[in-house]
Structure formats: structure tokens, C-alpha cells
Amino acid sequence: MARKNLFEMTPDTAEPEAAAPVRTTLGRPLLGLDRPLRPASPVGAISQSLDGISAKAQRAEEIEKRLAEGQAIIELDPSLVDASFVVDRLGVDAEDQSGLVDQIREHGQQVPILVRPHPERAGRFQVAYGHRRLAAIKEIGGTVKAVVRDLTDEQLIVSQGQENNARTDLSFIERCYFAAKLETKGFGRETIMSSLGVDKAALSRMIALVRRVPSPLIEAIGPAPSFGRQRWAEIADMVEERAKRMRALKHVEDADFRAARSDARFQIIFDLLKISKDKPRVTAWTAPDGTSPAKIKETDTALNIAFDKRGGAQFGAFVERKLLTLFEEFRKETGD
């Protein structure tokens, strides 16, 4: 299947137009190697060899050229590779990850990860995509196969998002979370839309949803790959009630909840919010003379006023007779 990745690896076709030293967007050379500028033409290359330039320096230049063009897969020490500056995952299922570890152990790393030179830490790299593969290699030991490209922040997150889209790798809520994080970091909607491959309407809904559900709850539930917009929107609706929100946040501390898989955790919270009703809030209404002839009982669905048969029976009957008058007064006041 063709990938939408804008920054896909290109085959070895055209010769690069210029062989000037390749620099990152920050002006720092790839691999941290700096060299004096040299002519790039074949004549220049010949004269270089004639001049006795060391083979090592030439090889470094060639590697840097190829790396910047994304044409070379190189092997990196995984300890030199940092995660993307925007986290796109809400945790990885241990079973899935162990499957990936077994697969790589058996067949080797078939697909390289994409990294860029770290913009802030010389000599290190930052992942655009391939976080799970990197984690697996770190577990197994050895070097990680990587393509190094000189990417801006925007290119990195678009590349990161598109790779995930291509493999339908992220769940709905992870995509929402990723989108919200990108917006928080100041990326424009256009960039985020490109990264996630969604339209503005979908993006708007995704970001709005993350804003409505407390982050600790999303993080506790995790990716929940079986559940999409509709079900998460239902949870968002339900946690708008403070009592339910607090109940859900309290429940995520539960040991059984923590032990469950992400989909099950979603279902547990969903069921908890769906079926649980607030305990009736009962308050005694106190008259100016200090007596309490009525109790007001409020639930999610009803408000009841109960009159005490002993002290409030007559008052209750009076209120009953006055209901029509009260209703008309209510209509006058509210205009309903």
C-alpha cells in the first residue's frame, strides 16, 4: 500500500545537484563533523584525491550527503536516540510490544526508523517515527537501523503523524491527544491536519474532546483501540458532571482497573459512569421559626419535596392547593 508520507525515502536516482557540506536547519553539520568547504565537481573530487585528502574525510562527507537526502540507512547506538518532542502514544500494550521484540529478535529489524539530528543536543538524534521499534531494540540490545533526515519541527510532526496514519497505528484517542499536544505547542491547524490526515471539522472535534476529558483519565485509560469518537464523546459528556468526573478519577487508582487492558479500562469507566447514579442529595428545608416541615431530595433525574406527615402535613396540602398559582407566577417570572 502506498504511503502518504511526504518525506518518504527516495530511491537512489538523480545525482545531487551540489555537494556542499550538508547542514541541519540549525546550521549544525550532520553527525557533528565539520569540515572545510571543498569544491563539489568531479574535478574537485579528483583534485581532492590528488591532494591526498584522507579517505576517512571523504567517506564522512559522502555519508553526510546521503543521510541528508534520506538515502542511507545507518546503524545508530539506541542510547543516542531520543523520543520525539511530541508524544503520540498513551502507552504501549506490553503484549504487543513483546510480540514486536520477538519478531525483531527472530527476523532482525526489517524497517528502519526515521530520526533527525537532535536540534538541541549535539551528537544525538530525535525520533520522527519508530518509537516502538527503538524500544524493542533497546530491550534486545545492539544497534538500531535508522534513516537520518534533516527535518524541521513541522516536517517531523507531519512525518510522525503520517507514518502512524499509514499503519493505522494510533487509536482515536491517541490521535486526539497528539493533536491537542501539537496545538498546545503552537502548531497551526494546517500542520496538524496534514500530520493526522484529517479535515478541519474532525480536528476541531478531536481537540475539543481532549479538552473536555481530564488528562489523567485519558492517560489512565490509555489508547483503547476498540473505541472511537462516539464512545469517547459519551464519556466526555458524562464527566462534565463534577461528581461523575471525581468518581472516574478516583476509580483509576483501583488495582483491578490498573491490571486490565486498555479496552477493558475504557469499558470499566464507561460502565461506571453510565450506570451509576448520584446518591440522592437530601436537604431539610428550615422555616423561619426553626422547624423543618419538608425535605428536598434531588437526584440526577428528579427533584422531590417531601412533607413531614407530623409537622408539615397541613403545609404540604397548602402547597398542593397553590401549585397552579405557583406555576403561573413561575411563568410570569421566567417568561416560559
Partner DNA sequence: GCCGAATCCACAGACCAAGC
Partner DNA sequence: GCTTGGTCTGTGGATTCGGC
Residues that bind DNA in the complex, under the rule CB under 7 A: 171-172, 188-189, 197-205, 207-208, 226-231
Q: Is 131 within 8 Å of 139 (Cβ atoms)?
A: no
| Three-class DSSP category at 70 | coil
Q: Which of 232, 236, 239 is nearest to 266 (CA)?
A: 232
Name the minimum Å distance from CB 16 to DNA. Answer: 36
User: Residue 54 CB, nearest distance to DNA (Å)?
Assistant: 52
Nearer to DNA, 126 or 194 (CB): 194
β-sheet bridge partners, residue 305? 296
- Alpha carbon of 335 to those of 274, 303, 322, 324, 325: distances in Å? 34, 22, 19, 16, 15
Least CB distance to DNA at residue 221 (A)? 13
Identity of the residue, 68 or 206, whose beta carbon is nearer to DNA in the bound complex: 206
Q: Which is nearer to DNA, 7 or 172 (CB)?
A: 172
CB of 228 to DNA, least distance (A): 2
3-state secondary structure of 305: strand
Find the shortest distance in angstroms from Cβ 207 to DNA: 6
Report, in Å, the least distance between residue 166 CB and DNA. 12
Taking the least distance from each CB to DNA, the nearer of 121 and 200 is: 200
- The residue (of 204 and 304) whose beta carbon lies closer to DNA is 204
Cβ neighbour number for residue 238 with a 10 Å cutoff? 19
Closest CA relative to residue 181, chosen from 160, 216, 207, 153: 207
Would you give the distance in Å from CA 194 to the centre of its chain?
A: 15
Q: Give whichever of 63 and 202 is closer to DNA, judged by the CB atom.
A: 202
CA distance 283 to 299: 12
> Which of 28/229 has CB closer to DNA?
229
Query: Looking at beta carbons only, is 109 or 267 nearer to DNA?
Result: 267
Distance of closest approach, residue 196 Cβ to DNA, in angstroms: 8
Helix segments in 29-120, DSSP class H: 42-50, 55-68, 94-107
Question: CA-CA-CA-CA torsion for 230, 235, 240, 245, nearest 10 degrees?
Answer: -170
**CB 167 → DNA: shortest distance, Å?**
13
Q: Note the helical H segments in 69-171.
A: 94-107, 131-140, 153-166
Interatomic CA distance for residues 99 and 150, integer angstroms: 31
